[in-house]
Structure 1
Amino acid sequence: MREVELGWGKVLLVKDNGEFHALGHKCPHYGAPLVKGVLSRGRVRCPWHGACFNIGTGDLEDFPGLDSLHKFQVKIEKEKVYVRASKQALQLQRRTKVMAKCISPSAGHSSSTNVLIVGAGAAGLVCAETLRQEGFSDRIVLCTLDRHLPYDRPKLSKSLDAQPEQLALRPKEFFRAYGIEVLTEAQVVTVDVRNKKVVFKDGFKLEYSKLLLAPGSSPKMLSCKGKEVENVFTIRTPEDANRVVRLARGRNAVVVGAGFLGMEVAAYLTEKAHSVSVVELEETPFRRFLGERVGRALMKMFENNRVKFYMQTEVSELRAQEGKLKEVVLKSSKVVRADVCVVGIGAVPATGFLRQSSINLDSRGFIPVNKMMQTNVPGVFAAGDAVTFPLAWRNNRKVNIPHWQMAHAQGRVAAQNMLAQEAEISTVPYLWTAMFGKSLRYAGNRWPGQGRGQVRLGVWLRCVRSAEVELGS
């Protein structure tokens, strides 16, 4: 692979089995240079987050991301390679697949839809887009609890200052152009699978032919004394994230939970807050995911950036002054000054509205699906953080993997099976994080029954080298 300058921009020139291909040179997801990625079996994989593109078509074949690459004309004459590309394509560096438009608008039958998607995260949006890409031209309704159109939620904890328009996955015009209706601040309270109908909190009823359940998860809350005081947050919306930054600037911030969300928030606040403290029940951060050795190395990196850790303890009380948080009291008897507190102690599937339906839920509230993302009810599919699905290389054991990339893949598979294409979920789970300018990437899934932090074959870790630590696989 080689980057080639064409005057108005660059292309990625690929020679594979003696054949030349020219493609957009940046990953449409976050702009990574694909020349630093991996070329294998007719695909190029992004070096940052693993998105995968077919070199013959430029099409996106594995996630994350929504768009594909431009494919440019290549001609060989007298042992010279000529690439022909338009100025617009070179500058845009992304291609949205051709999509059908809706030929059955809502006017006149607003109480029914062909496809209803509950949840507008990655799974819901990719499902809607895949349906249009596959030629589906009937009505699609996407509903969300949020007040915003679909946005990049994982970015909230990495960039707390980001505004909703900066996080949007698609502009408003996109949904209008392709007839994907989005109902914001719309809460489904009942699903009647016998009559194929859902009821919203405001009493509105909507019939459907096919249903995708992608409600995501709800954050766990503290249950300690003083939990109702002001300035205690979970990070679920841009408004949450923005308020945390405003309140933490030059003041004392406490983060409860040393998982990915908590540590990302702590890293971001170190340059904003007067002090940042992390409270965690485990001995080291990330211990359940990455193990003791990696956890301690990352903890050292945070300590070198002025983050104070209170490990193997939990919050017993939140103390307020004039109704606003002033101190966090720990079970270890330590008292930590705090003007703002972010809680990141895990999440539960947001599936309470399904408990009175005949859609199966497991003991933890997750929606079990098969490899085709089909629930136990015909015509009802589920995807994203709220599902358990059979993972092929774990002998089809049902797992829950709440990764952004996995939600994309599940949304596409659900859409394909709504159209009777008999697709199966097969992608390798993958997640990433970034803290203090370093990146950590994780592929695979921890095998239950192993020691904490041990991982199943297929996992790899990478942390860009810092002055203190270099992490290998």
Structure 2
Amino acid sequence: MTEIEACSVDDIQDGGMKDVEVEDGKILLVQRGQEYFAVGGKCTHYGAPLVNGSMSNGVVRCPWHGACFNVQTGDIEDFPGLDSLPTFDVSVKNGKIYIHVPTSGVGKRLKNMCGSVPENRKTFVLVGGGPASVVCAETLRQEGFTGRIIIVSKESVLPYDRPKLSKAMDAKPESLALRNAEFYKKYDIEIRQGHEVVSVDTKAKLVRMYDGKKMSYDSLFIATGGKPRVLPIPGSGLKNVCSLRTPADANFIAEQAKGKDVVVVGSSFIGMEVAAFLAGKVHSLSVVDMIKVPFELTLGETVGRAFKTMHEEKGVKFYFEKGVKALRSKEDDILTEVVLSDGTVISADICILGVGVVPATDFLKKSDIELTKRGFVSVNERLQTNIPDVYAGGDIVEFPLFTVPGSNVNIQHWQMAHQHGKIAGYNMNGISREIKSVPYFWTVMYGKSVRYTGYGPGYDDVIVHGDLDVPKFAAFYTKGDNVVAVASLAFDPIVSQAANLMLQGEVIQKSEIISDPKTWVGRLKP
């Protein structure tokens, strides 16, 4: 154990954060009231410096992707990421603050987890191989569940970091894995890869697989995610017409697109991230969409126009306010042309469809589990369905979002899927917890990262501060007198600060941000 002099008590104030250099990295020193706390200085997700984040109510939020850590315990409280922060003892002597650093390092910390025991005959089945199931399984083990846990995944690889698929399309599955095989083995979490559940019998408490095998459960968690939407047009089944859903899809596109004519259909986040990755690696790159600018439906026309310019400077050609009428082949059922609704013909060796997903819930239609008209699973604040001992989470659910009282919403964010898994895990283990999380997502193009927090559908105005030509901006999406969402680029940590204020149950007023984007930041509670 080494005692490190961090700073003078006069060098940090209530609610303040300070980086302290140590041999193995950095430690974050925090003052809250009259107390001092020290935790690992880097976010356990992608290593962002937490000192640049936002602290509120004893929780520090990562400036990059919104993960939250309790500064007293180091525990991860919101996501993305799986690991917690190490904590360090702090003492004050003669007006100086000291941190006691062990020789074990200052990096990530795994919360204590149990394994299974033969005496516990309960079986919890988690359907779906994404982050919701992984976090659910880990939460169960962290909270002392010693029964059997089985994750049933349709995919042939271990659960992986899906957001990277469109940002690092040549990455291999093993480099994307959330946990390695040894981890699941150590904590008795069974992974059934390449197994598809085709039906659920809630009365008999059975799930049936594609091969006819059945599996009984005591409690069931369903998080099967989305499946790519297919365009109902001629030629959609041609070779080299691709969707992006798996590492194999990403690797195929990255390899086949080199030096070729590429068409991307859809200009939202997947489509534009794919375009950003492929730009400079292909012969031509075209993007087609019915809207006016990239991201128009989420970020609005004004902000979207800035991203249109960014992509055009990299050689991307846009065909907006046009649909795709047909995909054509001249021979061997291999794509050669994309025909647009106005008759324009684009040469294409490969076409990537980024036109959204639909919930992968067809296998539930004959069950007693309640689905909405759009095919989503209805759940309550505890992620419970209408059937006892059946829970659901991730992209397939509509759930109560505390910032939108009286409404059930569907939010297809990586962060929210993690949180669903955590809340479901608590409740499956008999620990009552309700979800209270602020939506947070990000996109990266050409090394520039956009953050977004809140729930923006239905916004009626956008107030932009900064310079969209640089680009460096903060955009506030308002509905009536209230800000409902905030997006930014190179304006950290304003999105994390906004997420923290929303988590406090407070609202940013439109009048507060007309002339100054930061007047409300002082309302954050340390």
- TM-aligned CA deviation for residue 255 of structure 1: 0.4
2:109 maps to which residue? 95
Query: In the alignment, is the contact (CA less than 8 A) between 1:105 and 1:139 conserved in 2?
Result: no
1:115 maps to which residue? 124
Matched, 1:46 2:55: no
Match of 2:366 among 339, 356, 365: 356
Match of 2:224 among 215, 221, 234: 215
Q: Distance in 1 between matches of 2:489 and 2:461?
A: 22
- TM-aligned CA deviation for residue 120 of structure 1: 1.6
**Letter aligned with residue 463 of structure 1:** L
Q: Distance in 2 between matches of 1:105 and 1:117?
A: 21
**Match of 2:394, SS?**
coil
2:325 maps to which residue? 316
Once the two structures are overlaid, the 10-residue window that deviates more, 274-283 or 1-10, is: 1-10
1:435 maps to which residue? 445
- Partner deviation per Cα, 1:334-363 (whole Å, 9 max, x = no partner): 111111111010111000000110111111
Query: In the alignment, is the contact (CA less than 8 A) between 1:235 and 1:342 conserved in 2?
Result: yes
1:181 maps to which residue? 190
Q: Distance in 1 between matches of 2:33 and 2:377?
A: 44
1:300–1:102 CA distance, 2 compared to 1 (3 A): same
**Letter aligned with residue 171 of structure 2:** A
Query: In the alignment, is the contact (CA less than 8 A) between 1:113 and 1:208 conserved in 2?
Result: yes
**Letter aligned with residue 393 of structure 1:** T
Match of 1:403 among 403, 413, 421: 413
- TM-aligned CA deviation for residue 397 of structure 1: 0.2
Superposition map of 1:382-421 within 5 A:
382-421=392-431
Q: Unpaired runs of 5+ in structure 1? A: 107-111, 466-471
Query: In the alignment, is the contact (CA less than 8 A) between 1:8 and 1:87 conserved in 2?
Result: no
Query: In the alignment, is the contact (CA less than 8 A) between 1:113 and 1:206 conserved in 2?
Result: no
Matched, 1:19 2:35: yes
Query: In the alignment, is the contact (CA less than 8 A) between 1:259 and 1:344 conserved in 2?
Result: yes
**Match of 1:35, SS?**
helix
Match of 1:459 among 480, 485, 491: 485
1:203 maps to which residue? 212
Match of 2:305 among 271, 276, 296: 296
**Letter aligned with residue 485 of structure 2:** V
2:3 maps to which residue? none
Q: Distance in 2 between matches of 1:455 and 1:289?
A: 13
**Match of 2:174, SS?**
helix
- TM-aligned CA deviation for residue 113 of structure 1: 5.5
**Match of 1:88, SS?**
coil
- TM-aligned CA deviation for residue 89 of structure 1: 2.3
Once the two structures are overlaid, the 10-residue window that deviates more, 43-52 or 454-463, is: 454-463
Matched, 1:84 2:110: no
- Partner deviation per Cα, 1:248-274 (whole Å, 9 max, x = no partner): 111111100011100110111002112
**Match of 1:132, SS?**
helix
Query: In the alignment, is the contact (CA less than 8 A) between 2:459 and 2:478 conserved in 1?
Result: no
1:109 maps to which residue? none
Matched, 1:280 2:313: no
- TM-aligned CA deviation for residue 42 of structure 1: 1.1
- TM-aligned CA deviation for residue 287 of structure 1: 1.3
Query: In the alignment, is the contact (CA less than 8 A) between 1:369 and 1:376 conserved in 2?
Result: yes
Q: Distance in 1 between matches of 2:255 and 2:317?
A: 21
- TM-aligned CA deviation for residue 139 of structure 1: 0.3
2:264 maps to which residue? 255
1:333 maps to which residue? 343
1:81–1:302 CA distance, 2 compared to 1 (3 A): same
TM-score under structure 1 length normalisation: 0.94
**Letter aligned with residue 102 of structure 1:** S
Superposition map of 1:365-384 within 5 A:
365-384=375-394
- Partner deviation per Cα, 1:324-383 (whole Å, 9 max, x = no partner): 221111111111111111101011100000011011111110001111111000110010
Q: Distance in 2 between matches of 1:245 and 1:382?
A: 33
Q: Distance in 2 between matches of 1:20 and 1:46?
A: 19
Q: Distance in 2 between matches of 1:347 and 1:226?
A: 19
- Partner deviation per Cα, 1:131-175 (whole Å, 9 max, x = no partner): 001011110000111001110111101110111011100011100
1:195–1:438 CA distance, 2 compared to 1 (3 A): same
Query: In the alignment, is the contact (CA less than 8 A) between 2:44 and 2:85 conserved in 1?
Result: yes
- TM-aligned CA deviation for residue 9 of structure 1: 2.6
Match of 1:62 among 78, 103, 107: 78
- Partner deviation per Cα, 1:272-313 (whole Å, 9 max, x = no partner): 112111000111221111111111111111111111000111
- TM-aligned CA deviation for residue 458 of structure 1: 3.7
**Match of 1:162, SS?**
coil
Q: Distance in 2 between matches of 1:126 and 1:89?
A: 25
- TM-aligned CA deviation for residue 449 of structure 1: 7.9
Q: Distance in 2 between matches of 1:429 and 1:383?
A: 14
Query: In the alignment, is the contact (CA less than 8 A) between 1:143 and 1:186 conserved in 2?
Result: yes
**Match of 2:485, SS?**
coil
**Match of 2:272, SS?**
helix
1:179–1:105 CA distance, 2 compared to 1 (3 A): farther
Q: Distance in 1 between matches of 2:478 and 2:227?
A: 26
Superposition map of 1:445-456 within 5 A:
445-448=455-458, 450=460, 455-456=478-479
**Letter aligned with residue 377 of structure 2:** I
**Letter aligned with residue 425 of structure 1:** I
1:307–1:414 CA distance, 2 compared to 1 (3 A): same
Match of 1:306 among 294, 315, 330: 315
Q: What is the root-mean-square deviation in Å for CA atoms of aligned residues?
A: 1.8
Query: In the alignment, is the contact (CA less than 8 A) between 1:447 and 1:455 conserved in 2?
Result: no
Match of 1:169 among 170, 174, 178: 178
**Match of 1:291, SS?**
helix
Tell me the number of residue pairs that the alignment of Structure 1 and Structure 2 aligns. Answer: 460
Query: In the alignment, is the contact (CA less than 8 A) between 2:459 and 2:484 conserved in 1?
Result: no
1:236–1:250 CA distance, 2 compared to 1 (3 A): same
Match of 1:238 among 241, 247, 272: 247
**Letter aligned with residue 250 of structure 1:** G
Q: Distance in 2 between matches of 1:57 and 1:283?
A: 47
Once the two structures are overlaid, the 10-residue window that deviates more, 336-345 or 440-449, is: 440-449
Once the two structures are overlaid, the 10-residue window that deviates more, 31-40 or 1-10, is: 1-10
**Letter aligned with residue 116 of structure 2:** C
